[in-house]
Amino acid sequence: MTTSLTEDNFDTAIAKAPGTHVIRFWAGWCRPCSMILPIFTDVANQLKSVAHFAEVDIDAQPRLAARFGIRSIPTIVVVKDGQVVDSHTGLADKSRLSQLVMRHLV
The pTM assigned to this predicted structure is 0.93
Residue 29 domain boundaries:
3-101
Contact (Cβ atoms closer than 8 angstroms) between residue 75 and residue 87: yes
Domain assignment present for 106 = no
User: Has residue 1 got a pLDDT over 80?
Assistant: no
Tens of pLDDT, residues 54-84: 999 999 999 999 999 999 999 999 999 889 9
Give kind and range of the element (H or E) at residue 82.
none
Within 10 angstroms of residue 80's Cβ, the number of other Cβ atoms is: 16
What integer best gives the mean pLDDT of the chain?
Answer: 94
**Given 22, 23, 33, 58, which residue is catalytic?**
33
Q: At 16, which CATH number? A: 3.40.30.10
Domain assignment present for 15 = yes
- 69 catalytic, yes or no? no
Structural domain total, the chain: 1
- 33 catalytic, yes or no? yes
Domain assignment present for 46 = yes
